[in-house]
Structure 1
Amino acid sequence: MAGIRELVIAARRYQAKGVLSKALVVSGLNQAVSSGTNFVLGVCLVRMLSPSEFGLYGIGFAISLFYAGIGNALFLTQMVVHAPDKSPEERRPYAGRILLLELSFCALTASLGVVMLLAGGLLWDSMARHTMFALSVMAASVAHLLKEFFTGHAYNVRKEPWALSIHCVVAVVTVVLLWAQYRFVGSPDAAIALLVYATAQASGALLGFGVSRLPVFHSLAALIETLREVFCGGKWAGIAGVVCFARIQVYTIVVASLMGPVGVAKLNASRLLVVPATMLTPALGQVAMPRLAGLRQRGEFQLQRLGLAVAFVLLTVAVTYNTILLCGYDMIVNRVWGDKYGGLFALTALWSLYTCLLALRNGMEMIGQILKKFKNLSRINAYSAIISLVATYLLTINHGLPGALVGLIIGEITQLWLIHNMLRQSPAMQRPVAGFFGNPDEN
C-alpha cells in the first residue's frame, strides 16, 4: 500500500504537466484499439471458421506470438533497458541499429523457414499440402514482430500517439480485408485468416517506420558493438522467451497433440471471453517500463513498490471484469459465440483465475527485466515451464480440457512465487520517484 500512496502523491505532483495522464490516456486508447481489433477478429473467426479451422488458426497465431516473443526479448526489451544509459543524441541511432539487427534476424529466420519448408515438402507429401498455411504463419510472425518493434520504440521515446496511429491502421486494414474476403470470396480458412492478420500487421509496421524515420545505414563496427551489448542480456532474455512461450502456450502444445485442433479451438474460444481483462496490461506496462528503466539508470531503486503498485492496478481490473463476465456468462456467450460452442463455463472460470495471476506476474516480471535480471528470469521460466508442462500433460490425460488449464495455473503460481523470492533478495535503495512521471530529459 505504501507503493500505491507514493504513486498517487507523485502523480498529483506532476498533474499540472499532464505528462503521465496524457501518456496513460493515449496508451489506454492504443491498447483498446489493439486488443479490440484482435478481439473482434477472434469473434468473427469463431463464427466464420469451423472448429478445426479455428483451432489451426489458434496454433498458427500461437507460433507467431512465439516468434515475436523471442524477437522482442532479443532486441526490443534490450533497447528499452539499455537506451537510458545512452546520451540523448545517441538514442536515435542506437534504435536504428537495433532495428537493422531485427530486420537481419527476420530475413535469416524467414530464409531458414522457406528452406525447411521446401525440404519438408520434398520428403513428406503431408507437409506439401500445408505449404500455404506454413507461409501464412511465417508472414504473420515477421509482420507482428516488426509492428511490435515500432510500437515499443514509440513508447520508449514517449511518442505514444505514434503507437496509437499504428494500431488504428492495423484495425482499419483488418476490418477492410476481412469484409472484402467475406463479401467477395466467402468464409476464409485458417491460412487466409492469418494472411489477413499478417497484412494488417505489416501495414502498421510500414507506418511505424515512416513516422519514426530511424536510420538504417550504419557501419559494421557500430552494428557489431550493438550486437555484443544486446547479446549479453538478450541471450538470456531469448531463452526466457522460449521457455515462457512453452509455459504460457503449453496448453496449445499438449491439447493439439492429444486432442487435435478442435480441442485447441474450444480452449481459445473460452479464452476469447477474458481477453478484455488483459487489455490494460500492455497499456500500463508500456508507459511504465521506460520510465522505471530511467529510474534505474539514475540509481533510484524504489522499483519494487512501484512494480507491485502496477500489479495491484492490473489485478483490480482483472478481478472486476471477470466477476462481471461470470455473473452474466449465459447472456455474453450467446452474443459472442452464438450456438457453435457450449458448455464451456468451467473453462472460462479457469481462464478468469489465470488472468488474475497473470496481472500479478506481469508487474513483478517487469521489475526483474528493468533490473536486468535476465539470467535469473530465464531460470525461473525454465523451472515453471517444466512444472507446467508435466502438470498440464498429466492433468489433460486424466481430466481433459479443464486439466490443461489447471496445469497452466500451477505453472503460473510457481513462477509468481519464484519471482517474488528473487525480488525480495534484491537490494532496494530508497529514492524519490519523481522521474517516473516526466519526460526523459526533463528530470
Structure 2
Amino acid sequence: MSRPSEIDAAHESAAPKRRAGLLSHSMLSSLDQAWLSALNLVLGLVLIRLATKDEYGVYSQLFVGGLFITTVVDALLTHPLMTALPGLEPLTRQALLQRLSRLQLGLAVGLALLGGVAYGVAAHQAGDAQIVPIALSFMLYLLSSSRREYQRGLSYIEGEPKRALIVDGIYGVVLALGVAVLAWQRAWLHLPGIFLVLSLANGVALLCSRRRVRLDAMPDLRQPMAQLWQRGKWALPGALMSWVVNYSYLYMTALWVGAAGSAELNASRLLLMPVSLCVIAWAKVGAPTLSRTLQAQDTARLRRILGGSAVGLTVLALGYLVLVCLLLPLLEKYVLGPDYAGVQSLVLLWGLYFWGYAMHWLWTAFLMAADRYRELLGVSLLALVVLVISLPLMLMWYGTTGAVIALIIVEVATVVMQLWLAWPWLMGRAQYSPR
C-alpha cells in the first residue's frame, strides 16, 4: 500500500501534466473556434455585401432557428454526458454512445421537420416567395448541422479536441469553396443556395467523423440512461429559456421595425461574434476540467481556474472590442456598405453584452460541472422574466438600440444570480455532491 508521502508526490508530478493537457486542449479548442468564427464571419460579410438587407435579415432568423436544435440536443444529451460519461466502464460507455447516436438522429429529424414547417407557416403568412425550396433546404441544413455539432461535442467530452479540429477543418474548406462559388455566380446567392452549401459542408464533415464501434455484448443501460435523464430534464427547460433570452430579440425586432432592423442588429453583432465563439471554445474544455476539479475537492485549483478564466475572458472581450472600434470606419466603408452605416453605438453595446455573456458562460460552466442543473433552471427563469419586462420597454423607448440594452440588463442580472449560487464553493463551504 502506498504511503501518504508517495501519494502526495504522485499528485504533484501529475499536476504539471494536467496543466499541460488543459493548456494544449484549450489551444486546440480555441484554434477550432477561431476557424469556425472566421468562417461564420466571412459568410455573414458576403451576405451583408451581396444579398439584400431583407434577405440577410431572414437568414439571420433562420440561422438562429438552427441554434435552437443544437440547444435542445446539448441540453438532453451533450451536457449531461459531460458529467456522466467519465465514471462509466469502457464497454458501457461505448454502448451508451451508440444508443445516444441513434437517439440524437431521431431527435434531429423531428426537430428539422418542425423547423421547416414553422418557417413555411410564417413565410406563407408574410406572403414570401420560394417557400418550398427554402423550407426543404433549411430542413436539410438543420439536420446536418445538428448531427455535426453533436459529433463535435463528443470529441471534446472524450478529450479529443484534435479530432474536432480536423473535422471542422474539412467542413470549413468545403464551406469556403461553396461560398466562393455562390459569390462568383451571383444568381445562386439566395437562401436555398446558402443552406444547400452549408448542408453539403456538414455532410462531408460527417463522413469524415464516422466512428465504427462494434460491440459483442450490450450491457444494461437503464441506469446511465436514467442518470442522463435526471440531468436533462432540468437542463432542457433552462436551455430553452436561455435560447429565448439570447435570440428572441431578433424576432421581436423584426416584428417591431421589420426584417431590415434585425439585419442591422445581426450585422453589428456579427463583428463581435468571434468573442462568443471563443467563450464557447473555453467552455468545451473548461467545463470538463471544472467537473474533475470539483470531484477532486481541490478548492485552491478551482479558484485559480475560475480566476484565471475570468481575467482571460475579460481581456479577450474588451481587447477585441477595442480592435473592432478602431477598424470600424474601414469596415463600414469597404465591408458593411452604405446600408449598414452608423452602427457604432450598436457595436459598443454589443461589446458590453459579450463581456457579460463571457462571465455568464463562465459561471454556467461551473454550475453544470457542479451538477446544479436545477439551480441553472432557476437562473434561466430569472433571465426570462427580466427579458420579458425589459425588452418591450427598451424597444419602445430606444428602438433597435433598445434590444441590445435589454440583453445587457439580462446578462447583468444572470451573472449576479450565478455568483450568489457559486459563492459557497468559492469560500470552500460546499463540496461536490452529484444528484
User: Which TM-score band applies after superposition, normalised by the shorter structure?
Assistant: 0.7 to 0.9
Distance between the aligned counterparts of 1:337 and 1:306, measured in 2? Answer: 38
Matches within 5 A, 1:393-432: 393-426=392-425, 429=428
Residues 110, 344 of structure 1: alpha-carbon distance in 2 compared, 3 angstrom cutoff = closer
Distance between the aligned counterparts of 1:113 and 1:146, measured in 2? Answer: 15
Equivalent in the alignment of 2:258: 260
Distance between the aligned counterparts of 1:333 and 1:217, measured in 2? Answer: 60
Equivalent in the alignment of 2:79: 77
Indicate conservation of the 8 Å contact 2:46/2:183, yes or no.
no
Unaligned runs of 5+ residues in structure 1 are 1-9, 432-443
Distance between the aligned counterparts of 1:393 and 1:68, measured in 2? Answer: 27
Residues 137, 155 of structure 1: alpha-carbon distance in 2 compared, 3 angstrom cutoff = same
Distance between the aligned counterparts of 1:218 and 1:47, measured in 2? Answer: 56
Equivalent in the alignment of 1:132: 133
Distance between the aligned counterparts of 1:126 and 1:217, measured in 2? Answer: 55
Equivalent in the alignment of 1:240: 238
Q: Give 1:236 shift.
A: 1.4
Number of residue pairs the alignment of both structures matches? 417
3-state SS of 2:337 partner: coil
Moved more, 164-173 or 280-289: 280-289
Equivalent in the alignment of 2:354: 355
Using structure 1 for the length normalisation, give the TM-score.
0.85
Moved more, 155-164 or 97-106: 97-106
Equivalent in the alignment of 1:326: 325
Equivalent in the alignment of 2:334: 335
Equivalent in the alignment of 1:96: 98
Q: Give 1:115 shift.
A: 7.0
Q: Give 1:247 shift.
A: 0.6
1:175 aligns with 2:176: yes
Residues 112, 406 of structure 1: alpha-carbon distance in 2 compared, 3 angstrom cutoff = closer
Distance between the aligned counterparts of 1:262 and 1:117, measured in 2? Answer: 18
Q: Give 1:341 shift.
A: 1.2
Distance between the aligned counterparts of 1:254 and 1:348, measured in 2? Answer: 19
Q: Give 1:430 shift.
A: 9.0
Indicate conservation of the 8 Å contact 1:319/1:356, yes or no.
yes
Equivalent in the alignment of 1:303: 302
3-state SS of 2:342 partner: coil
Residues 424, 125 of structure 1: alpha-carbon distance in 2 compared, 3 angstrom cutoff = closer
Residues 325, 129 of structure 1: alpha-carbon distance in 2 compared, 3 angstrom cutoff = closer
Indicate conservation of the 8 Å contact 2:69/2:111, yes or no.
no
3-state SS of 1:372 partner: coil
Encode CA deviations 1:23-59: one digit per residue, 9 max, x unaligned: 2332222111111111111111111210000000000
Between the two structures, name the one with larger relative contact order (CA 8 Å, sep ≥ 6): 1
Letter in 1 for 2:321: N
Moved more, 49-58 or 305-314: 305-314
Using structure 2 for the length normalisation, give the TM-score.
0.87
Equivalent in the alignment of 2:162: 161
3-state SS of 1:396 partner: helix
Equivalent in the alignment of 2:201: 200
Q: Percent identity?
A: 23
Encode CA deviations 1:212-253: one digit per residue, 9 max, x unaligned: 43569996x846554422111112111111100111113112
Indicate conservation of the 8 Å contact 1:97/1:218, yes or no.
no
Indicate conservation of the 8 Å contact 1:57/1:190, yes or no.
yes
Distance between the aligned counterparts of 1:17 and 1:354, measured in 2? Answer: 30
